[in-house]
Each structure stands twice: as C-alpha cells, then as structure tokens.
Amino acid sequence: MSRFQNLIEQHTATLQQAVNAIHTRDFYAHWPEAPSGKIYGENANADGQQRFQEQLNNPFTRLQQTGSSNHGEETSPYGFPLGITYPVADANTLVANAVAAQQQWRSFSAAERAAILIECLEKATPHFFEIAYATQHTTGQGFVMAFQASGPHSYDRALEAIATGYYALTSFDTERTWVKPMGKMEVTVNKKFYAVPKGVNVTVGCSTFPIWNSVPGMFASLITGNATIAKVHPKVVYPLAILVASMQQTLRELGVNPHIVQLGVPSPEVPLTVELINHADVKTVDYTGSSAFGTQIEQLCAAQGKVCFTEKAGVNCMIVESTNNIDAVLDNMAFSVVLYSGQMCTAPQNFFIPKAGVKEGEVVVPFDEVVARFIGKIDAIVNNEKMGPSTLGAIQNTGTIDRVAKANTLGLTVLRSSSTIAQPGFDAAQTSTPLVLQADANQQDIYEQEWFGPISFVVPVDSFEQAVEIVANTVKKHGALTTSCYTTDSAKQQHAEEALIYAGAPVAFNFTGPIWINQSSAFSDFHGAGANPAGNASFADLTFVTSRYNTIGVRSIG
C-alpha cells in the first residue's frame, strides 16, 4: 500500500470531479472566485494584507532553497518600491537540485503525484489574499482581479493540468500478460509500460499574469514526473514566491524533496533564462511573453531537440455586424477594452464595423452613432468613481505608456484620447485610460501590429465578408488568442466560424452580459490554440501533458 494512501483517498473526489470536468467541459470551479470573508474567513483579507505589509522591505525567507546572493527590483505600478529581496541561485545549482529531487518524484505513481499536488494547492489556499496584494502591487491589476486571477482561477488551471495529466497517464494499463494464439500453441509475453519523464522543466513567467500563466506548465510537468523551475520575471517575483514557498513547505512535511519545484530569480549578474534553457538536463520549456524573445526560445529549443510550449503575442480582433441589442454589445465591448487597461493577452484590439452601420433588429444604427455610443460606454466605466479605477488598474511597464504616446503620433483620427486616472490612496500610480483610434481598412501596417495596452482601433469595412477576410489573414500572419463576432445571421456566423477556426484562432459569437472575450475558463476553454503565430501551446489539451513524457515498454518471457 502506498504511504500516501490516506492522502489519495482524501483527494480522490476532487481529482475525479476535475477529470470529469475536462471530459464534459461543463462549468466547474474547485475554488470560489469571490474574495469573500464568508468563504475564506472573516479575517482572511486583513491577515493577507498584514502579511503583505510585513513582507515589504524585507528578505523573502520562506523558500526551502538558498542562493549565493539576494536580489530584488520590484516596484508597485501604484507608485512605491516593494523592497523585497529573494535568494538568487545560478542555473547549474537550480538544475542540480531539480535532477536530484526528480529521482524520488518520478518513482511515485500518477495517483500519488496527483494527491500530493492537490494537497499542495489546498495548503496554499490560505495565501490567496497575500497573493492578491502581491499581484496587485507587481502587475498593476485591481485587487479583485488580482485575487481571482492569481488565486482561484490560477489554482483551477493548476488542477486542470493535474487532471489532464492524470487522465493521460492512466488511459491504458501499465502491465499486462500478453497471449497470442498460434494454432496448437500460444506465445506468452509479460509486458510493462513506463511513462518516463523527459526531464527538468523550466517555466518562464510573465509580468502581467505571473501565476495564471505559469502554473499550467509547472503542474503539467509535475504530474508527469518532472521537476520544474519557475523562472520569474525580475519585476514580478512576489506572487509566485508565495506559492512556491508554500508548496515546498508542504512537500517537506510529506517527506518529499521540496526541490521538485523551485523559484528561479534572475538578477543583472544571473539573468538565468537562456542559461537554464541551454542546460543539458532541461528538457521542456514553457514560455509566456513577447514574440521576439519567444521566437528566440523556440529556436534555442529546436536546435537542441527540446520540447517548447509558447504563448506569445497576437492581434485580437472583433467584428460587429448585427445584433438584437446594440447597447448590450457595446457594454461588453467597452468593458473588455477597459479591463486591466488592455494588458491582457486576450484583450480585443481591432474592431471592424460596417461603414453602412450595424443592424439592430430591423433598424440600422449608423456607423458614427455606433462609434459614439461605444466611446460613451468606455467613458461611463472610466468616469465611474467606484468602478473605473479598480477596473483599469495600473500600467505594469513604462514601455506601455511609451506605446500609447507612439500611437498618438500615427496621424489617425482620435476617437477617444488617453489620460491618466487617479487611483485612490496611490497618488503616484502609473495609469492610462483607453486610447481609441480610427484606421482605414487598407492601413494593415498599423493595426495588424500588436499594440499591447490601452490602445484600440476602430476600422470601418465595406462588408462583413471583408472583415472576416481581414481578420483571418491577421490571424495567419500575426496570430491571435481570441477573435469575436456579433451577427444574427446564421449563414454569416457559419462563414466566420469556418474561416477563423481554420485560420487557427478560437472565435466567440455574440458575447453579452457578464462574460467577456478576455476570459478563459479552466476545465472548459482551451486557452490558446497552438495553431497560429501567437503561440504553439494550448492550456490544457492532451498534447500539453503528453509531450512531457515518453512511453517506454519492457517485454519478458517467463
């Protein structure tokens, strides 16, 4: 009997529910998304905020790993330095720790690894509120978004990876006595099949969604028997440091080498990413970030025969042709633009609207009116004292502010000017409200670039078909993580669906109400298609887990 039998039994129901959810694609969430005291404890928010305040300007000492130096360079987009330092270890040290830990980890069964990893997540749940403050003050997300994205939604993505990996690993028998009839005799062969982990994983984290984008690769690697190193962005360390430290503590308590998961903290002297990727014992790499560096990583991995999973940049587009409720459509569009100041890989950038206007029922709303009402909806959110600042958040990278300034020099018609917005309690916050420009359809050289941040383009088109053609070509050339379309015409919807999915991008139709194109739901939505230049991976299809191990057989007679 496994020494983890009690743990397996404790988490069996959770694992089975998660496996069932990835099959049915129905709604499932193991962790409630509301930052409610009734759910997580009346003092949970205050305790998390206190831990955040106590950690500021102090070394982070919770990790079960050491470094040759300490480094930290995080500054809150809300206007103050965090002053936290973290242990820095070089690539050779991190990989050596991982290789040693992996010897024990790979010997565990899929059921044992799943139970241990679910236990790690459950034990890390009390850190949700500290993680939320850490995320808010490294990424610039509003508090509620930071809580949801780095807490419950991320943990659900981690559980999804565990469930997908467990399903793949247990899809066929691992041992069988094989009998082949041969006339008056038969041949018997004993067969065993081993899922052999490829080797150490490195997950290269991003600066906007540090946990959400990292845990799919980390947990897909862990459930398949590999150790993982979470190489963080130098300016966004704190959120993942909390999770990794909690996991390491739980692993140690369970008698498991805590170095199966480590935090890789870069410094000016130890940049880490390329050094880790080039290490001979690193076999898989997960990356989220810019296209330029992502392409470099893909090339490095290809040259060395390593498996690489990337989510890079894309140009997300939306077509608005007809609807039964134009206000509901514009409300949804406006919120998608304002949310986190457009700093989401799924945020829409280009809006294609027929020059003749948008059909609402039997009435045609003129183009200029549609645009004016769209801008009015954006203004209504931005200027709402309670809703605006928290929805917009702050700008994570000064390069995004520079990009807004550059967009203002394009010579396009300005439909909505960008400005700063006050963040209550944070006078030095770095902010920028949405900039909306109008471009001609033939100005692809402008709007087919990715303008990451609060920058959008409205493009008048001659027809729905022209819009679909432009969007499909954009996907093929530049990639996209989302596309969206509003039409009440079933034939047009079918045309757009076929054109866009075969261009390689997912498509959403007629989203209104409290669900936005920006959102990707664990256990149901596959985040990214892996079929266009925006990235080669999908969270979390079977390839995302099965590419992390090889199935190797052993046959014997007698």
Give me 502's structure tokens: 């075969």
DSSP 433: P
Report the distance separating Cα 144 and Cα 132, nearest Å: 8
* Positive or negative torsion for Cα 18, 22, 25, 29: positive
Report the distance separating Cα 149 and Cα 344, nearest Å: 11
Domains, the chain, ranges and CATH?
Answer: 5-312 (3.40.605.10), 317-509 (3.40.309.10)
Report the distance separating Cα 175 and Cα 66, nearest Å: 41
Report the distance separating Cα 224 and Cα 282, nearest Å: 15
Give me 428's structure tokens: 């030095």
Nearest partner of 522 among 553, 549, 491, 544, judged by Cα? 544
The residues pairing with 457 across neighbouring beta strands, listed in sequence order, are 350, 437
Please report, for residues 76, 158, 393, the alpha-carbon distance to residue 423 in angstroms, rounded to integers and kept in the order given: 13, 32, 8
Q: Residue 300: how many CA atoms within 13 Å on its side-chain side?
A: 22
Report yes or no: 200 and 228 within 8 Å, Cβ to Cβ.
Answer: yes
Report the distance separating Cα 421 and Cα 383, nearest Å: 9
Write out the E strands in 382-535: 413-416, 435-438, 455-461, 483-486, 507-509
DSSP 541: -
Cα 50–154–26 angle (5° rounding)? 135
* pLDDT in single tens digits along all 558 residues of the chain: 789 999 999 999 999 999 999 999 999 999 999 999 999 999 999 999 999 999 999 999 999 999 999 999 999 999 999 999 999 999 999 999 999 999 999 999 999 999 999 999 999 999 999 999 999 999 999 999 999 999 999 999 999 999 999 999 999 999 999 999 999 999 999 999 999 999 999 999 999 999 999 999 999 999 999 999 999 999 999 999 999 999 999 999 999 999 999 999 999 998 999 999 999 999 999 999 999 999 999 999 999 999 999 999 899 999 999 999 999 999 999 999 999 999 999 999 999 999 999 999 999 999 999 999 999 999 999 999 999 999 999 999 999 999 999 999 999 999 999 999 999 999 999 999 999 999 999 999 999 999 999 999 999 999 999 999 999 999 999 999 999 999 999 999 999 999 999 999 999 999 999 999 999 999 999 999 999 999 999 999 999 999 999 999 999 997
Report yes or no: 269 and 291 within 8 Å, Cβ to Cβ.
Answer: no
Nearest partner of 405 among 420, 422, 383, judged by Cα? 420
DSSP 214: T
Residue the block writes with tokens 């009998």: 179
Contacts of 274 (CB under 8 A, 6+ apart): 300
Report yes or no: 220 and 161 within 8 Å, Cβ to Cβ.
Answer: yes
